[in-house]
Amino acid sequence: MLRRKFFPLLGATSGTLVVTPLFGQDAKPAAPPPIQPPTAANEPKPIVVVANEVIVPVTVTDEEGRFVSDLGQKDFQVFDQSKEQKIGYFSRERNQPVVVGFLIDVSNSSRTHFRTFQEASLDLVQTMLPGDKKYQGYLISYSTDAELQVNTSYDPERMMEKIRRLKPGGGAALYDAIYMACTSRDLVKGEPIEPRRVIVIIGGGHDTSSKKTLQEVMELAQRNLVTIYAVSTKAFGFNTDGESTLKQLTEETGGRVETPLNSLYKGVSGYLSTPSDEGNYALKVGTGGYASEISQGLFRSIAALTGEVTTQYILRYTPEGIDTGKVFRSIEVKVALPNVRVRTRRGYYPLAPQ
C-alpha cells in the first residue's frame, strides 16, 4: 500500500488517469512515472493508460432495476460534448477491485433510526470488505466535524469495532466528510483505475456544519474519479432538505440513492388512519412487523449497492474532435437496447496543459 494522500487535482480530469497526485495547490501536474515490468512470471501485466484517456464506469439496468450484465462493446456509444468517440477499452468483469469510503452520519438528526443504520453499516462493511485485498475501504464519521475513524484497509474488523462505538450528537458536516475522503486517507496502488474509488454515504444528506460547500466537494469528487452512492435515512412520509443533496451528489458522479425506509408502509392499507400514541402507523415501532420491514428493506439496499459497485462496465476512450477549451466536459453513454436505463458520471475535468 502506498502511504500517501491525494488532493484536489486542480489540472486533472474526472475521467483522466492521474498517476501522481498533486501536493499543494501551486504544484504543476507531474509527469506519470514509467510503468515497471512485472517482477515475477505469474504477476498480471500492468494496465497501460495514456495520460489523456477518459475512464467511464457504466451501470445498465432494465425497467425493474435489474442489472443488464451481458452486453458487449458493440452495444455502447460514448459521446463527449455531443461528439461520438471511439471506445479504446471495454471490460465487463465481475467482482472488480474497489476502494470504498464509508461515510456515516452521527449527527443529532440521525438519532431516531441510529441503531438501525448502525447495524446496516456493519452489514455493509462486512459485505463489501470480505477480507480479500482487492476490496479495501476506510471509515469516516461526521457530526459537527468529520473524523477519519479507520484508514484504508482490507480488514473489516477494526471498522466494525469503531461503528459499534459510534454515538449520535452534534451538527452534520457531510461536505467536510467528502472532502476528507478525497484528501486525507492512504491510497492503494493502482487507484483510480484498478481499484476504482467509491464513496457510500449512510445518512440523510443534510449539512449544517461544513466549511466546504456542495459545489466544491462535488467538483473534487469528479476530479478524483469518485463515484458516490448513498443509503438514505429518510423514512416514508417525511421530506428532508438532504434528499436533493444526495440525489445531486450521486447522479453527477454516476451513483444512486437507496432509500430502505421509504417504502415501509407503501403496501399497508390505511396506515395514516390508524391512531396511536407514537403516530399514525399501522406498523408500530417496536413490533415484529416493523423490525421485519426495516430488516428486509436494508438487506435489499445493501445487496443492490454491493452488486452494482462490483459489476459495472468500464469504458475508456481518448477524446477526439472536441473543444479543448472547455473546463468541464459532458459525457453521454447510449446502449443499443430498448427499455434500459444507463447510469454514469455526467462529465469530467480535462487535464490542464503542461
SS3 311: coil
Contact present, 163 and 125 (Cβ < 8 Å): yes
Lateral strand order in the sheet of 313-317: 87-91, 313-317, 54-61, 341-343
Map grid coordinates 463515484 to a residue: 227
What is the biggest distance separating any 2 CA atoms in the chain, rounded to whole angstroms? 71
**pLDDT one-digit tens code per residue, 193-251:** 889 999 999 999 999 999 999 999 999 999 999 999 999 887 644 556 778 999 999 99
Q: What is the pLDDT of residue 4?
A: 43
Domains, the chain: 1-35+43-93+315-354 (no CATH), 98-309 (3.40.50.410)
Instruction: Give me the residues paired with residue 191 across strands.
Output: none
Residue type for position 236 = F
> Which set of grid coordinates corresponds to residue 292?
421485519
**What's the pLDDT band for 298 if we cut at 50, 70, 90?**
confident
Cα distance between residue 54 and residue 39, in whole Å: 28
Over residues 258-285, mean pLDDT: 51
Please check the confidence at residue 10 and state whether its pLDDT lies above 50.
no
**pLDDT one-digit tens code per residue, 147-196:** 999 999 999 999 999 999 999 999 999 999 999 999 999 999 999 888 99
Cα distance between residue 67 and residue 308, in whole Å: 8
Cα distance between residue 6 and residue 94, in whole Å: 27
Please check the confidence at residue 102 and state whether its pLDDT lies above 90.
yes
Cα distance between residue 343 and residue 333, in whole Å: 8
